[in-house]
Amino acid sequence: MMIDVRHVHHQDATRGFDTEALRRNYLVERLFEPGMVLLTYSHVERFVIGGATPVTVPLALESDKATIGSPNFLDRRELGVFNIGGAGKVSVDGVAHALGNRDAIYVPMGTKEVLFTSDSADVPARFYLLSTPAHARYETKVVRIAQAKKMLLGEAATANRRTIYQMIHPDVVTSCQLVMGMTQLDEGNVWNTMPCHVHDRRSEVYLYFDLMADARVIHLMGQPTQTRHIVVADGQAVISPPWSIHSGCGTRAYTFIWGMGGDNIDYTDMDMVAMDQLK
């Protein structure tokens, strides 16, 4: 297991970042490498963003003294796991839960052991992980893509026709502060979260996937009057602090997993940004 650490930067400092500084501080490039658990600890909401790609042997989610500071990773944390690869299993304290492609599982605070396995080494699972601090223990719950709260939004005329799947969400799963779901754009649609918004009460992480090797998403971030962009490839994530917009336009359709943590779990709590405010 490897863990990287990202610190918090004030929005005034971020204005002066060049391309490499933006990518170094806000883009998580390494998530899915065969046989490894790769984690990034962000001081924004104390998110832990990670990927586990088991091949022939199980992979364990282990604690880290310097960042997590407790004997077990989930002693004071909760965890959401989405499978974006081949079929696999997530074992929670010895109980194996099968996850197909696009299925998710919520793992509560107090869990001692989490193991990741793939059903086939030829088509390994790719488990995306997002964790936030927790204050209470709730129930482990698997959420199949078919069980998600589903919303159809957007239209072809604005190139943002999409399906939102709310999965680790108050209407589906009880959690402390972690809220997660998935947005899939229809073929020929490329925009997400435009018109855009901010929410100073929460921060967010976007994982982009379903992108071919030569496709990219131009992720927009920054204050509404001081926008910046990051070019994102398949299987990479962007950390979005509370003062930043989070929107994107792809070279073709794509899917992304959104995850939030902060003062509330209200998916609709957002401050919209008028188009004439953007610069």
* 199 marked as part of a ligand binding site: yes
Let me know: does 265 contact 33? Beta carbons within 8 Å.
no
Rounded to an integer, what is the distance from CA 133 to the centroid of its chain? Answer: 15
Rounded Cα distance between 202 and 262, Å, is: 4
Q: DSSP state, 123? A: S
Rounded Cα distance between 183 and 151, Å, is: 9
Helix, strand, coil % over all residues of the chain, rounded to 5: 10, 45, 50
- Three-class SS state of 277: helix
Which amino acid is located at 60 in the chain? A
* 135 marked as part of a ligand binding site: no
* 45 marked as part of a ligand binding site: no
Q: Which two tokens stand for residue 162?
A: 């999409």
* 246 marked as part of a ligand binding site: yes
Helix and strand counts by DSSP (H, E) for the chain: 2, 24
Q: Which two tokens stand for residue 44?
A: 């924004």
Order of strands across the sheet that contains 202-209: 27-28, 236-240, 202-209, 255-262, 179-185, 162-168, 149-153
Residue labelled with tokens 């070019």 = 231
- Three-class SS state of 275: helix
Residues sharing a CB contact under 8 Å with residue 10, sequence separation 6 or more, in sequence order = none
Q: Which two tokens stand for residue 256?
A: 């992304």
Please enumerate, by residue number, every residue annotated as part of a binding site for Zn(2+).
197, 199, 204, 246
Please enumerate, by residue number, every residue annotated as part of a binding site.
197, 199, 204, 246
